[in-house]
Amino acid sequence: MLLDTDAIVLHSFEYLESSRILRLATRDAGVVSVLARGARRPKSRFGGSLDLFTGGVAHLAVRPGRDLQTLTGFDATRARHGLAADLARFTGAAALAELAIRFVGEVPNAAAFDALVATLDAIMAAPASGAGEAALAGAWHLVAELGFAPAVDECATCHASLADDEPAPFSHGAGGVLCRRCAAQAPGGRPLPARARSAIRRWAAGEPFATEGPADVAAHQRLLRLFLQAHLADGRPLPAYEVWEHQRWGAA
């Protein structure tokens, strides 16, 4: 079966003497692994179209049941070289790519694909000081489009409504904030200020919300990481996320 679909290059590594294996986020097939035969040859038909984070139209020869599909062509429409301009942008984009690779799966999810596209463009357009906020917003939006948005307006356990202007304990295991009664029965929740609840609500909906500086970004990164570990990561580490969170290579 032949499939033409919007796609983004999320990961690439060399294969044999002249080819590459890529991980692509696609609009119509989720995240797929593909073989680009001859991509490393000097006169390859792919040229420079397979650079990291490049967007375009992927032409795939798909065989159901196979783990590795064949990339027959890639028409690049959006290069994102600006994501490599500094560490903040690159690590934020790499963390988003890791989340997509790990959690989207080989199922069509146009909304998740659009969230990924919008986030990469937002990170590239942001100043270096705003790259962390742009990546955070996009990560929560992607999580929401995957169906795992945390509860921030009602208790994650009993579903009682919570006032917008009140702090509330956030339970990673329960999947969101808790009312006072449920929090008393499940101690250990992290207090989440009303402003932080608003930020997560807006980001999950794909809307902007300004952080209050690096310390605020760091607090949100930690909260998101713990939420991912509780609900999506299956106990496996998220190396690119950890590098992004700590802003240094080899961080743990």
More confident residue, 24 or 44: 24
| Cα 18 to chain centroid, rounded | 30
DSSP 89-145: HHHHHHHHHHHHHHHT-SS--HHHHHHHHHHHHHHHHS-GGGHHHHHHHHHHHHHHH
Which of residues 64, 79, 94 is at a domain's end?
A: 79
Q: What is the CA radius of gyration of the chain?
A: 20
Mean pLDDT of 63-69: 89
Structure confidence at residue 185 (pLDDT): 87
Domain of 106: which CATH number? 1.20.1440
Question: Based on the domain organization, do 226 and 126 belong to the same domain?
Answer: yes
Q: What is the pLDDT of residues 115-172, one digit of tens each?
A: 999 999 999 999 989 999 999 999 999 999 999 999 999 999 999 999 989 899 999 9
Mean pLDDT of 10-26: 93
Question: Based on the domain organization, do 56 and 73 belong to the same domain?
Answer: yes
Specify if 173 maps to a domain. no
Which of residues 18, 50, 79 is at a domain's end?
A: 79
Rounded CA-CA distance 35/72 in Å is 9
Q: What is the mean pLDDT of the chain?
A: 92
For the chain, the domain total comes to: 2
Specify if 155 maps to a domain. no
Contact 108, 29 (CB under 8 A): yes
Structure confidence at residue 248 (pLDDT): 58
> Distance between terminal CA atoms of the chain?
42
Question: Based on the domain organization, do 144 and 198 belong to the same domain?
Answer: yes
Structure confidence at residue 158 (pLDDT): 96
Question: In the predicted model, is pLDDT for residue 252 greater than 70?
Answer: no
Q: Would the CA dihedral through 64, 70, 76, 81 be positive or negative?
A: positive
Which of residues 79, 111, 132 is at a domain's end?
A: 79
**DSSP annotation of 64:** T
Question: In the predicted model, is pLDDT for residue 251 greater than 50?
Answer: no
Question: Based on the domain organization, do 92 and 11 belong to the same domain?
Answer: no
Q: What is the pLDDT of residues 79-93, one digit of tens each?
A: 999 999 899 999 999
Domain span holding position 123: 83-149+193-246
